[in-house]
Structure 1
């Protein structure tokens, strides 16, 4: 083989390898990202496929469903973890007040008199149709949304169009990159004042759960509004398996006899947590060996 032939062969090999590598990376990125429109279509399709299944209070499927549990099940099938109660789901995601702005995949809520707290709910599937598990009819049914205008309380959008690019914001679709993005999102709010009951629509103040809800939402992950609701989603993990981005839920004090959750923080790695409380507001705190650690009730992984 001449020197010229060797150079040409080597060059072709390098170009081929590079092409295959880039193609593989593009394929992985495409596989890792499910589009907003595809997710809403899948949720709607799943909801329709459950029509005729029996209603049963608090039943989680796959053959019987309570009102909220139907939505929980449908979203779980597309890899999205949401709450499991009507009251909790009524506070999650983005509020949609007008019936005219409801989109496929949105959760729709109703009460018998159109006021107060919701008593039943369903999944909007488009074309003025929604699916819900009806106690009165004893099964999952499809109805015209417009026929329920007097009972309509509002809707919540769990899937956000901006989440299509959430994996790209860190340049890596992996869970660790998403966790790093969550921490980065939280760091930009360091020093922001603490306010109990702070609105989820503001970034001028936070309470512990509005802070976690905000920084996870900015990374494309939707959480319920308060800490106890947030503790119902995701996968439980032990302290020894803590990873960056895990949510740590705590009780009121080390000596409290009740395990009622009163605080949530984000594990930031290196024995630290990122959270907000009292006078420091959003801050890092040492976790390992402190009262924060001793107050832990549960740890959940939502990434």
Structure 2
């Protein structure tokens, strides 16, 4: 199993454990209400922490490319819209204490080398019996099993605001239905621009010509009232990572997702053999229509905004990531 496969399975496990808060055994809606914002922030914390695995360890660093033990938690929580302290000692007193048999995704775990005294390192619990921390010994951010560190575990703290009961439990399939409605509106807005001429580096001042990212900008702004700014494809990818959900698994793309690609290197699959995909720069963005189709614009010669096939084309071979900015 590759490291990427392992991380994807971990994320799936987290999502399943989170869903237990929403649905009782047998698929019936749980009786109690939950605060949807709590779940949103918890999932954002897990997703961000997972994306940082492999980043460098550096004492006292708070990101974005290297992290100390507490700095990792500070950075991850900030991406979820929460400001917390940046020292282990202060975080060990923050929030409220949680029994280690009742920890939830997003809780902070604290350890010492001998399991006594003050904590010397800490991590973020992501569910499924796993946590992520910036390891001085391994010199990078790593994923570990809590069960391997029970003798060093001092305790857990919950910094996330508790469920308030102000939200309501969504009906099964409701969230996917809402997302599908947004996707349909984005696609409809995008299709209005079919045939609009392509212009590299278009100004965004008018809609007479468009490059790839101006097209997706207008589709999401007009179809879903989501303003991703006037930046290019890389900027939109960062917006998705910060504000929505994303995947590097092409099979998990959903209708309406933004799809991001590396530079063109040839039309054959062999032209992309051996490429380190995560290190490639994003140069293009499209909207996934489902049914193996893309809606985008990429050259004057192609005729502007159009629909193209996805699988078994250079677009498939150039795929880096995809996701939705909400």
* TM-score, normalisation: structure 1: 0.44
Structure number with higher strand proportion: 1
* TM-score, normalisation: structure 2: 0.41
The structure with the largest alpha-carbon Rg is 1
